[in-house]
Chains A and B, each alone.
Chain A
Amino acid sequence: AQTVTQSQPEMSVQEAETVTLSCTYDTSESDYYLFWYKQPPSRQMILVIRQEAYKQQNATENRFSVNFQKAAKSFSLKISDSQLGDAAMYFCAYNAGGTSYGKLTFGQGTILTVHP
């Protein structure tokens, strides 16, 4: 079974600084998808960034970028120029692709605090 591990229960960063959230996963599949989701307190979970395993190029969305290391099964999220609105719980998630109907396996989450 696939597993996703986020080893940092909590992280903090100063406003305008850069922070990296770690994620590792375990799978025997060669084709899959990885995601980072953001869940602000009492608010809707939203997709931050998506990576397709067959693409070597790291995904980037504005201030958010990933470092995808397929051989190491590592998928970290870098947030540049951190803003107060980035404070949230961040979940790393895995989807096996194929006929999995989009089932996501989530990591335990990392609570990110942004200090002004």
Chain B
Amino acid sequence: DAMVIQNPRYQVTQFGKPVTLSCSQTLNHNVMYWYQQKSSQAPKLLFHYYDKDFNNEADTPDNFQSRRPNTSFCFLDIRSPGLGDAAMYLCATSGGTGAGNYGYTFGSGTRLTVV
């Protein structure tokens, strides 16, 4: 089945140690998103790629970076994780722009713990 896959499902990292979360998709969707979801809160958009065009949200900290080497893969890099970055990180894809938006397909998320 076509899907969005996030690895790993759980990630533990040390305070200040760089960490990378990965997302892959078999849907051939042109838009990929990274959301941060803290416990019992709404997901918050960090950034998205429309094809190779990177779009950062204004309030996303510089500590968060992203890479999209091809259509299928997108990575979230946290350069120096702090305790406040512990959260669920959701990857999602969308096949269209606004007029053709049929909602997202989400991955299962990566739960990041910072120790």
Contacts and interface: CB of A to CB of B under 8 A. Distances in A.
**Main SS of the interface on chain B?**
loop
B108 A43 contact: yes
A46 B103 CA distance: 9
Contacts, number: 67
Interface string A71-103: 000000000000000000101000111111111
**Main SS of the interface on chain A?**
loop
Interface in B66-93: 90
B94 A102 contact: yes
B98 A95 contact: yes
Interface of B: 31, 33, 40-43, 45, 48, 50, 55, 90, 94, 96-99, 101-104, 106-109
Interface of A: 33, 35, 37, 43-47, 50, 89, 91, 95-104, 106-109, 111
